Amino acid sequence: MTALVLLDHEGGRIRKAALSAVAAATRLGDVHVLVAGDAAAAQAAAAIAGVSRVLHAADARYAHELAEPLAALIVSLAPGYDHIVAAAGALGKNVLPRAAALLDVQPIPDVVGIEGADTFVRPIYAGNALATVRSADAKKVLTVRSAAFDAAPAEGGSAPVEVVAPVDGADVSRFEAIHLSDSERPDLESARVVVSGGRGMQSEEKFHALDPLADALGAAIGASRAAVDSGFVANECQVGQTGKIVAPELYMAFGISGAIQHLAGMKDSRVIVAVNKDPEAPIFQVADYGIVGDLFEIVPQLADALKK
């Protein structure tokens, strides 16, 4: 059994979510990885522990990881593989279902458990149920939820890198521009601590009240959909069913009521803390520690107490 893992990378580095996908794939067999774009990322992929081969899609048409050419490339490589895997991020969710349709396969998204070569566990209904599914397809195409698998070590491997020949496909899409938000903070999906704000933060300006606490903890900043929709914070901060799924050691929710769509994105965190004025807020039902009170008083007190 051999699995092909499509790796997400940025700035020549492999994203942590992709390392979790590699770790999941090692449970299915021998692991080859596919890197589209720059050579530095392909070299970084070669060092991942557990990877036995790196396929580098070096042709210019793959530089921006557009779904149309990349899915066609994956289909051309598919005959050598039993499993085709990616992290359940924007890249994997965009590309893998397209490749699956071309292979006449039903994809299995957001896998959180592997029970065998054809049997997988995935959350449905915003994480309110866990379905165990068995695939009858000859090839399994899956995306894995990185929060559910420990990342493979980024160092220690020495896999050979080979450039794969491009494949002619429909030339129907063009990359125009990318707008990444530059944040000094750790990446939300791989942070050990996440400090999140909701509608209770009241404004964009007041949302910054979380900054000193996040600094003190070395935390990533997250948000509920309400905070994002109100314009308090950029939408890549959104945690939830339709945003990012995180499972940090510590998740701190300030002014977040705890709608099921938000809980879907954070309820697997090891420790959950909630601070909310409303003692009846649903977030308290999943919080290990809760404080009923005004977050604008409590957040500075927390930052002070951490310094002691």
Partner 1 sequence: MKILVPVKRVVDYNIKPRVKADGSGVETAGLKMSMNPFDEIAVEEAVRLREKGAASEVVVVSIGVQQAQDTLRTAMAMGADRAILVLSDESPEPLAVAKVLAKLVEKEQPGLVILGKQAIDDDMNATGQMLAGLLGWAQGTFASKVELADGRALVSREIDGGTEDVSLALPAIITADLRLNEPRYASLPNIMKAKKKPLETLQAADLGVDMAPRLTIVSVAEPAERSAGVKLASAAELVEKLRNEAKVI
Near partner 1 in 192-221, by CB under 8 A: 193, 217
Q: Among candidates 278, 268, 277, which has minimal Cα distance to 244?
A: 268
> Of residues 133-152, which lie at the interface with partner 1 (CB under 8 A)?
133-137
The answer to whether the annotation marks 238 as part of a ligand binding site is: yes
Query: Is 20 annotated for ligand binding?
Result: no
Q: How far is Cα 214 from Cα 193, in angstroms, rounded to an integer?
A: 8
Closest separation in Å from C-beta 211 to partner 1:
17
Count of C-beta atoms within a 10 Å radius of residue 296? 15
Q: Does 260 belong to an annotated binding site? A: yes
Closest CA to 18 of 44, 52, 57, 53: 44
199 annotated as belonging to a binding site for a ligand: yes
Shortest Å, Cβ 205 to partner 1: 21
Buried b (16+ CB within 10 A) or exposed e, 189-219: bbbebbbbbbbbbbeeeebebbebbbebbeb
- Rounded CA-CA distance 271/287 in Å is 8
Q: Does 67 bind partner 1 (CB under 8 A)?
A: yes
Cα–Cα separations (whole angstroms), residue 296 to 80, 105, 145, 255: 57, 51, 34, 10
CA 83 to chain centre: 20
Nearer to partner 1, 109 or 157 (CB): 109
Name which position in 6, 23, 189, 246 contacts partner 1 (CB under 8 A): 189
| Phi then psi dihedrals of residue 265, to 5 deg | -95, -5
Instruction: Report if residue 38 touches partner 1, rule: CB under 8 A.
Output: no
Within 8 A by CB and 6+ apart from 285, the residues are 258
Among 25, 66, 144, 256, binds partner 1 (CB under 8 A): 66
Give the angle 45-50-56 at the CA atoms, nearest 5°.
Answer: 30
The H-or-E segment that residue 163 falls in is strand 161-163
The footprint of partner 1 on residues 74-133 (CB under 8 A) is 89-91, 93-102, 104-110, 119, 122-133
Q: Pairing state of beta strands 9-10 and 13-14?
A: antiparallel
- Interaction mask 148-187, partner 1, x per CB under 8 A: ----------------------x-xxxxxxxxxx-----x
Shorter beta-carbon distance to partner 1: residue 123 or 197: 123
CB of 25 to partner 1, least distance (A): 19
Question: Which residue, 32, 35, 36, 143, is CA-closest to 92?
Answer: 143
Least distance CB 10 / partner 1 (angstroms): 7
Dihedrals φ, ψ of 16, to 5°? -60, -35
Flag whether 258 is marked binding.
yes
Residue 236 binds partner 1, judged by CB under 8 A: yes
Which of 133/161 has CB closer to partner 1?
Answer: 133
The answer to whether 94 is annotated as binding is no
**Smallest distance, partner 1 to C-beta of residue 265, A:** 12
273 binds partner 1 (CB under 8 A): yes
116 annotated ligand binder: no
Number of residues that bind partner 1 (CB under 8 A): 94
Q: Which residues are annotated as a binding site for FAD?
A: 199, 224-225, 238-242, 255-262, 276
Q: Which residues are annotated as a binding site?
A: 199, 224-225, 238-242, 255-262, 276
